[in-house]
Amino acid sequence: MQPLTNTPRCQDVDIRHGGLASDAVQALLRQHLDDMQLHSPPEDIHALDLHGLQGPGIDFWAAWRGDELLGCCALHELDPAHAEIKSMRTAPAHRGTGVAKRMMEHLLAVAARRGYARLSLETGSAQAFAPARSLYARFGFAACGPFAQYVDSPHSVFMTKALAGPHPDRLVPEPGAPRARSPLSPLDIARSLSELWSPRVIAELDDSYIKVAKVQGTLAWHRHADEDELFFVLEGRFRLEFEDGVVELGPGELHVVPRGVLHNPVAERECLLMLVERKSTRHTGDVVTTQTRALEEQLRPIVAVASPAD
């Protein structure tokens, strides 16, 4: 049997915020609207066009593998506790390859970071929408009545999923949220982490994330083909192994690993790091191990952990 060469590995699906100016994205959105018109009467077509996706409270993402568009999705915030999934679409050549699953995981991770209590959607009742309804059901969405501006219709199916809601003890704001003027302590946040080699995003800087991590042992030999990576030691000692040498770092010291350079991060004892990486940077670059963390995992909310004395 021939391998499915167009099946993207999870690590190959790069979900990027924005992209509405892309010709490929606009063509996919037009195709999405055309398909809606084939299966629903005009009064029951609720898909957003290009202008609608630029409206207030709407965030749009496109899924890519390199320069190839795989799909798109969006979230519409209805109120601070409730959001709606919009514009879920997989490019025809990539249907059945896990792209929709990856986008759903992304949207649920965003919803969790924002502290929504509920995520809802409207889809069609026709047979053509059965795969979409099945996908949503697998992710825990259940049928519900109309919400927001919708009215009941035989051509619509409404689904919803209850979420955990806000995190009152959140240590850092959600990336993309309005920036607070209160300071953050990378060292204190890194100390609060319990997982090793599991970086967590604490802030954004233009197209980069600032992360902290608690590490011990060895991560993996890997490289980042297109991104530089900055390591700054907050506490402890850290070693970067290269093919032609080693860089040892102590508290207050940093090193930038240039793009394309093979390296292996090591800490003999527990060490706390701060990292600055472009948002496109994969955790372990060109390899996947049991310690590899997807971006959604790195973006999980960081909440305060009570000390034994509390």
Q: What is the 3-state secondary structure (H, E, C) of 267-281?
A: EEEEEEEEEEEECCC
Q: Is 186-298 in the same CATH topology as 10-162?
A: no
Question: Residue 7's pLDDT band (boundaries 50, 70, 90)?
Answer: very low
Summarize the confidence of residues 273-277 as an average pLDDT: 97
Q: What's the pLDDT score for residue 39?
A: 82
- Residue 128 CA to residue 119 CA, distance in Å, equals 23
Name which of 28, 118, 14 is nearest 65 in CA terms. 14
Give the model confidence (pLDDT) of 198-211 as tens digits.
999 988 888 899 99
CB 143 within 8 A of CB 158: yes
Superfamily of domain 186-298: Jelly Rolls (2.60.120.10)
d(CA 76, CA 61): 12
pLDDT, position 70: 96
d(C-alpha 291, C-alpha 304), whole Å: 23
22-51 pLDDT per residue, tens: 999 999 999 999 888 888 888 878 988 999
Q: How far, in Å, CA of 170 to CA of 303, rounded?
A: 4
Q: Is the pLDDT of residue 132 over 60?
A: yes
Tell me the average pLDDT of the chain: 87
Boundaries of every domain in the chain = 10-162, 186-298
Give dist(CA 15, CA 102) in Å, integer.
Answer: 9
The CA–CA distances, whole Å, from 225 to 212, 229, 246, 257 equal: 22, 11, 20, 11
Which architecture, in CATH terms, is 10-162? 3-Layer(aba) Sandwich (3.40)
Q: pLDDT at position 179, please?
A: 52
C-beta separation of 288 from 11 below 8 A: yes
- What is the Cα–Cα distance from 192 to 302, expressed in whole angstroms? 9
Q: Name the pLDDT band for 104 (thresholds 50, 70, 90).
A: very high
Mean pLDDT of 121-126: 92
Closest CA to 126 of 154, 150, 146, 152: 154
pLDDT value at position 181?
A: 57
Single pTM value for the model: 0.57
Give the residue from 125, 127, 162, 126 showing the smallest Cα distance to 142. Answer: 162
Does residue 303 register a pLDDT over 70?
A: no
Taking residues 4-10, report their average pLDDT. Answer: 44
